[in-house]
């Protein structure tokens, strides 16, 4: 908001301070003083403007402005809610801080952990990258299961330190991130804010916590970028990201390596492959295809050069949740304390995919059958702005180490998604925006 005010101030100041020159010589001195004064004000404002303004856009959803939002947290009642949400009920249960808890995967993982008796505290900034009312609905769902979502930003170290002061979390499930591949061209700084600055901030607080938690976090299949060797294995090269999103996730993996190496933090990165299902993200193709097909709007389907197939290794949310929980359960303790490393700690990366890529055109056909509506298809060349042609996970490592075994095919998973979608958007006057 303050930036907007500064902008309008700037508008009121002539761009050429020379206009202030007075014709009357008598007033020369006072006008020189005024000129100097206004020049300083002008320069000062330019200075402030450049330092506070996001480098690129001034969208209403700009993350820098988002981060200026003040969240209210703290106080005895707040601490009581946090403690009660973190209460472990199962024998050998764990206490987990779930970041991005009002997100798609975050909600499902939080609910699953709570269900089996673990302590769970959520954290989410409820930003407006997509319709926040969906996040609020997920929050309400979690509240009914006893999970409290703290409203705040992972980039707020004071808040994170406070949370660790109130609860000695054994684990952190870090899912908060700026997602989406194409949005990075609109708002690059939001990726840096969440996926880089936010991650570093979180790891800083975790390394200083006593005891240090073990951390499982969401990387992405997009780190494989322009890699053409399929299926993608964890050892394949990941140094050719095709989007800023992918680059920040790849950077996250390197940052994880550093904190593991220097501070003995136990870190597990999960490379998710196109996760879908009920309560999903409206910015994903299966979601907005459903919306547009139902509205009779035409949908744009990308094809690769020479009419090549674009395919995705769609992975159903319940399978992903099992992988996340198994990663938490098999995570070894961090070895450091008070910011000092005591010995080597666990560092892992796993693919969590479905091992069966499906062409996007088949996805549309399945949706047509489930919705009983014919889609208006518009085929388009895939723009070179971050999307890759093909993803296919080799999951043998996760299978071996986590017992990960996806069981839901796309047809079955989409059926559950569509059932949820129709129920959710026909209840009340909610509309998918």
Ligand X SMILES: *[C@@H]1O[C@H](CO)[C@@H](O)[C@H](O)[C@H]1NC(C)=O
The set of catalytic residues is 245
Task: Give the SS3 label for residue 287.
Answer: helix
CB of 382 to ligand X, least distance (A): 25
Nearer to ligand X, 67 or 248 (CB): 67
Least distance (Å) from ligand X to the CB of residue 133? 26
For residue 115, the SS3 value is helix
Tell me the closest approach of the beta carbon of residue 128 to ligand X, in angstroms: 17
Strands 267-272 and 347-352 come out as parallel
Tokens of 80: 């009581």
Between residues 134 and 160, which has the closer beta carbon with respect to ligand X? 160
The residue (of 155 and 290) whose beta carbon lies closer to ligand X is 155
Between strands 267-272 and 275-276, the pairing is unpaired
CA distance 176 to 160: 13
Nearer Cβ to ligand X (3/361): 3
- Concatenating the DSSP letter of every residue in 119-169 gives EEEEEE---SSS-HHHHHHHHHHHHHTT-EEEE--TT-HHHHHHHHHH---
Instruction: Find the largest Cα–Cα distance for the chain.
Output: 89
Binding site for ligand X (CB under 6 A): 67, 155-157, 192-193, 197, 231, 233, 394, 396-397
Q: How far apart are alpha carbons 363 and 360 in whole angstroms?
A: 5
CB of 330 to ligand X, least distance (A): 16
The CB-of-67 to ligand X minimum distance in angstroms stands at 5
The span from the CA of 389 to the CA of 382, in Å, is 8
Measured from the CB atom, the residue of 70 and 378 that comes closer to ligand X is 70
Rounded to 5°, the CA angle 422-425-428 comes to: 125
Residue number with CB closer to ligand X (67 or 220): 67
User: Which burial class, exposed, middle or buried, applies to 50 when counting CB atoms under 10 A from its CB (0-12, 13-18, 19+)?
Assistant: exposed
How far is Cα 309 from Cα 358, in angstroms, rounded to an integer? 9
User: Residue 340: beta bridge partners?
Assistant: 337
Shortest distance (Å) from residue 282 CB to ligand X = 24
Distance CA 203, CA 195 (A): 12
């Amino acid at each position: 908001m303050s930036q907007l005010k500064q902008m309008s101030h700037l508008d009121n100041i002539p761009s050429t301070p020379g206009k202030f020159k007075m014709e009357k010589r008598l007033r020369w001195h006072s006008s020189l003083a005024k000129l100097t004064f206004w020049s300083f004000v002008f320069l000062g404002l330019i200075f402030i403007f450049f330092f506070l303004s996001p480098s690129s856009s001034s969208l209403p959803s700009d993350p820098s402005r988002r981060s200026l939002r003040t969240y209210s947290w703290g106080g005895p009642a707040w601490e009581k809610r946090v403690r009660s949400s973190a209460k472990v009920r199962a024998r050998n249960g764990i206490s987990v801080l779930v970041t991005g808890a009002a997100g798609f995967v975050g909600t499902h993982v939080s609910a699953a952990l709570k269900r089996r008796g673990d302590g769970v505290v959520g954290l989410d900034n409820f930003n407006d990258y997509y319709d926040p009312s969906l996040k609020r609905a997920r929050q309400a769902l979690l509240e009914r299961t006893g999970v409290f979502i703290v409203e705040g930003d992972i980039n707020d170290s004071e808040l994170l330190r406070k949370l660790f002061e109130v609860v000695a979390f054994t684990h952190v499930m870090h899912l908060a991130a700026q997602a989406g591949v194409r949005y990075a061209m609109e708002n690059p700084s939001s990726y840096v804010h969440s996926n880089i600055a936010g991650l570093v901030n979180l790891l800083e607080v975790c390394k200083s916590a006593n005891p240090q938690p073990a951390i499982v976090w969401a990387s992405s299949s997009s780190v494989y970028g322009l890699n053409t060797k399929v299926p993608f294995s964890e050892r394949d090269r990941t140094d050719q990201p095709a989007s800023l999103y992918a680059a920040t996730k790849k950077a996250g993996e390197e940052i994880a390596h550093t904190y593991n190496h220097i501070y003995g933090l136990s870190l597990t990165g999960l490379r998710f492959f196109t996760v879908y299902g009920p309560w999903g993200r409206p910015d994903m193709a299966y979601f907005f295809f459903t919306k547009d097909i139902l509205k009779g709007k035409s949908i744009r389907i990308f094809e690769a050069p020479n009419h090549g197939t674009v395919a995705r290794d769609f992975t159903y949310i319940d399978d992903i949740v099992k992988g996340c929980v198994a990663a938490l359960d098999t995570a070894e303790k961090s070895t450091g304390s008070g910011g000092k490393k005591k010995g080597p700690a666990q560092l892992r990366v796993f693919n969590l995919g479905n091992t069966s890529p499906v062409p996007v055109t088949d996805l549309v056909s399945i949706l047509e059958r489930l919705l009983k509506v014919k889609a208006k298809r518009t085929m388009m060349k895939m723009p070179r702005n971050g999307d890759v042609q093909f993803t296919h996970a080799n999951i043998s490592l996760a299978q071996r180490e986590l017992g990960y075994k996806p069981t839901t095919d796309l047809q079955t998973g989409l059926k559950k998604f569509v059932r949820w979608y129709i129920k959710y958007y026909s209840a009340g006057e909610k509309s998918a925006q």
